[in-house]
Amino acid sequence: MLVCWLHKLYGYIPMFELVDFRLCLKGDGIWDILGYYDSKPHLVYICESEIEKCVDEIKFKIFNKAGSLNEKEVTVLSRLAVRTLVRLHEHCHALLHTCDFRGLIAPNHDWYISLKPEISEPLTEFIAFSIIQKSGCRFFQKIFEYIDDKAPKYYKKWTALRDLVKSKTGDSKTCYTFVPGIVKVARESSWENFNELKESIKDQWDDEVARVCIAYNIKF
d(CA 19, CA 47): 6
pTM: 0.92
Give alpha helix (H) positions in the chain.
Answer: 3-10, 31-34, 48-62, 71-98, 109-114, 117-135, 138-148, 158-169, 179-186, 194-203, 210-215
Is 90 exceeded by the pLDDT of residue 77?
A: no
Tell me the pairing of strands 16-20 and 35-38: unpaired
Share of the chain above pLDDT 70, in %: 91
Helix (H) or strand (E) holding 12: none
As a whole number of Å, the end-to-end CA separation of the chain is: 24
145-203 per-position pLDDT tens digit: 988 988 889 999 999 999 999 999 998 889 999 999 999 999 999 899 999 999 999 99
Q: How far is CA 152 from CA 9, 26, 122, 142, 175, in A?
A: 29, 14, 10, 18, 22
